């Protein structure tokens, strides 16, 4: 009788490293880049006031939406208008934020047209 032996592969078990430190991931979006840069500077100044470690701002790719529309409704098919809308984006990471930083960021008064997404990662 032949005995079948199983080969057991020895996989290295990944050791659990130190727990990932919490961070705030702030994603800022706006149609105008000047207003966006002013808002990002205001966020960074607020975080620096409370001695938080900041990574960024990281410029993300600009999202461009384009539309082509007929100028006329009937005969003039060749006459068209083209429109585009650009959405500029920045990413800021605040490493291990304390409650004072979070409270200060929630009380910020930013200009209209600036959208902020905050995630705790």
d(CA 48, CA 103): 14
pLDDT by residue for the chain (121 residues), tens only, comes to 555 555 555 554 444 445 567 888 889 999 999 999 999 999 898 888 888 888 879 999 999 999 999 888 888 888 889 999 999 999 999 888 888 888 888 888 888 889 888 888 7
Q: What is the pLDDT of residue 17?
A: 47
pTM of the model: 0.70
Within a domain: 15: no
Q: What is the pLDDT of residue 86?
A: 94
**3-state DSSP assignment of residue 8:** coil
Q: What is the pLDDT of residue 19?
A: 58
Q: What token pair was written down for 78?
A: 């060749």
d(CA 101, CA 35): 22
Total domains, the chain:
1
Q: What is the pLDDT of residue 71?
A: 87
* Domain hosting residue 43, numbered range: 23-120
Domain of 45: which CATH number? Answer: 3.30.70.600
Query: Which strands, in side-by-side order, build the sheet including 53-70?
Result: 53-70, 80-95, 23-30, 114-120
Q: What is the pLDDT of residue 7?
A: 58
Within a domain: 69: yes
Q: What is the pLDDT of residue 13?
A: 46
Within a domain: 66: yes
What are the DSSP calls for 67-103, one per residue?
A: EEEESSSSS-TT-EEEEEEEEEEEEEEEES--HHHHH
Q: What is the pLDDT of residue 23?
A: 83
For residues 55 and 95, the answer to whether their CB atoms sit within 8 Å is yes
Q: What is the pLDDT of residue 60?
A: 93
């Amino acid at each position: 009788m032949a005995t079948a032996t199983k080969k057991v592969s020895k996989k290295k078990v990944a050791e659990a490293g130190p727990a990932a430190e919490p961070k705030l991931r702030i994603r800022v979006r706006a149609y105008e880049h000047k207003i966006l840069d002013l808002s990002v500077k205001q966020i960074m100044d607020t975080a620096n006031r409370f001695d938080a470690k900041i990574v960024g701002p990281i410029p993300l790719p600009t999202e461009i939406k384009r539309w082509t529309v007929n100028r006329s409704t009937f005969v003039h098919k060749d006459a068209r208008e083209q429109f585009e809308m650009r959405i500029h984006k920045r990413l800021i990471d605040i490493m291990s934020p304390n409650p004072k930083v979070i409270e200060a960021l929630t009380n910020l008064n930013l200009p209209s047209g600036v959208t902020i997404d905050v995630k705790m990662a």
